[in-house]
Amino acid sequence: MNIEIIPHTLVGSVNAVASKSHAHRLLIAAALSKRPPAISIGTTSRDIEATRTCLQQLRKEIPVLDCGESGSTLRFLLPVAMALKERAVFLGSGRLPQRPISPLKEEMEAHGCTFINKHRKKGEAREICEIRGRLQGGIFTLPGNISSQYITGLLYALPLLKENSRIQITTPLESRGYVDLTLDVLKKFRIQIYTAEKEGCPTYMIEGRQQYLPPGDMEAEGDWSNIAFWVIAGILSRDSGIICNGIDPQSIQGDRAILNLARRMGGKVTEKGHSILVMSDSLRSTHIDASAIPDLVPILAVAASTAKGVTHIHNAHRLRIKESDRLAAMYDCLSRVGANIKEEPGGLLIEGVPQLKGGTVSGYNDHRIVMAMTVASIVSDSPIIIEGAEAVNKSYPTFFEDFEALGGEYRVL
C-alpha cells in the first residue's frame, strides 16, 4: 500500500497501544505456567500474534514455530523451545531469516542443541533452522552489545532446566531496559534470578527446577516505543499540543526516555497520572547516545531534521540488523525530503533545516520507518509519499487511524 501524506499540524489526544515488548514477555511467562493466567492485551499486532501462535505450537511434540517477521519471538523462543522439546523447527518471513542468531546459536550448541540450517521455503515463510537436542544448563557467555533478546530468551528458559545456570555478560550491557523489563516480569511470576555486576557487565545466576507461578490475571502496559511517535509529533506541532494517554510513568520500559529527550530538544512535557501533554516553542539539537534506546532512533532523526544546530546520534550500530538497516533507511528517506543528514558507521549526523520538502520514500518494509516518515510530514512544505505503508501492521495496525484522528490527512494511492 502506497500512501500520500498531506502536511498538517496535529492536535488532540491519542491512547497508547499495548506494549509489544511487555506483551511478548507476559504471554511467554503465562504459557510456561502450570495454570496460565489470562493476559489482557488492549491492541494486538502481527508480532504479538506471532508469539501467541508459536506458544500454541509448543504444545505439540515437534513444534513448527512460524515467527513471522518478529525478531523478539524468534530469539526469545529459541532457548525456551529447546528447554521443553527434543526437536523444533523455526520459520520466518521478510528479513527475519537473514537476521543473526549468533552468538546465541553457538551457546545453545555448547549446551546440548544441534542446529540444522536448510533454508527451505514453506508457503510464505522460510525455514530459519531446525534444532535437535534438549538445552542443558551451565555457564552461558554473551557480549552485552549484540542483542538483549538473547539474554531474555535464556532468562526464560534456564529456570526450567534440571541444572543451575549462569549467564555471564562479557561487555557493558546495552539495551539494559529490555532486560530489566524481563526481570520484572519473571519476578512477578516468582522466578528468582540473582544478579551480580562488575564494570557494567552483569552476571545472572539462575537456579534450575523453578516453576512459573503467576500472581493472577495481568494486563500489558501501554507502549512507550510507539507513543514516542506522538511525543515527537507534539513537539513538531509546536503550540498545538498532543495528549498521550494510557502510559505508565513508572514503567521499566527503556523507551520512556523519550520524555527526557523531548525536553532536551525543547519540548514542553506536562505529566499527569497516566497522561502527558507535549508541545514546544522551538526545537534545538542535542547529543544522543542510542545504545539503550535503538527503537527511538528513526523518530529522533525526524525531530533532529528541523532542530536548530547539529544533532549527533551515535552508538546505534545495531540498527543495521533490524527489520531494515535503519541507519541507511533514515539517511535515504530524510535525504529525499530535504534533510541535511550524514550517515556514519554507527549513527547519524543531522544539521537542522528550516523545513523539509515533499518527496517519495520507501517504507523499507519497516514499521518504524513508515511511522517516522509519516510524522515528518508535519514539518514538510508539500506531501510525502510512502511506499509500503502497510508495514505498520507489524506493531501498530491502527497507526493511521490515530494519525487521522489527530488531524492528519492521507490518501491511499
Closest CA to 47 of 73, 9, 84: 73
Q: Is 52 marked as binding a ligand?
A: no
What are the Cα distances from residue 255, in Å, to 71, 97, 225, 300?
A: 18, 26, 5, 12
Question: Side-chain half-sphere of 145: how many Cα atoms within 13 Å?
Answer: 10
Q: Is 326 marked as binding a ligand?
A: yes
Question: Side-chain half-sphere of 293: how many Cα atoms within 13 Å?
Answer: 25
Q: Is 149 marked as binding a ligand?
A: yes
What is the rounded end-to-end Cα distance, in angstroms, of the chain? 7
Q: Is 71 marked as binding a ligand?
A: yes
Q: Is 295 marked as binding a ligand?
A: yes
Catalytic residue among 223, 295, 366, 402: 295
Q: Is 388 marked as binding a ligand?
A: no
Q: Is 25 marked as binding a ligand?
A: yes
Has 332 been annotated as catalytic?
Answer: no
Q: Is 240 marked as binding a ligand?
A: no
Cβ atoms within 10 Å, residue 62: 12
Q: Is 325 marked as binding a ligand?
A: no
Q: Is 175 marked as binding a ligand?
A: yes
Cell of 276: 502527558
Q: Is 132 marked as binding a ligand?
A: no
Closest CA to 78 of 120, 5, 140: 140
Q: Is 192 marked as binding a ligand?
A: no
User: How many whole angstroms separate alpha carbon 19 and alpha carbon 295?
Assistant: 13
Residues 358-394, buried b or exposed e (16+ Cβ, 10 A)? bbebbbbbbbbbbbbbbbbbbbbeebbbbbbbebbbb
Q: Is 335 marked as binding a ligand?
A: no
Q: Is 273 marked as binding a ligand?
A: no
Q: List the binding residues.
A: 20-21, 25, 71, 99, 147-149, 175, 295, 322, 326, 368, 394
Q: List the binding residues for 3-phosphoshikimate.
A: 20-21, 25, 147-149, 175, 295, 322
Q: Which residues are catalytically annotated?
A: 295
Q: List the binding residues for phosphoenolpyruvate.
A: 20, 71, 99, 149, 326, 368, 394
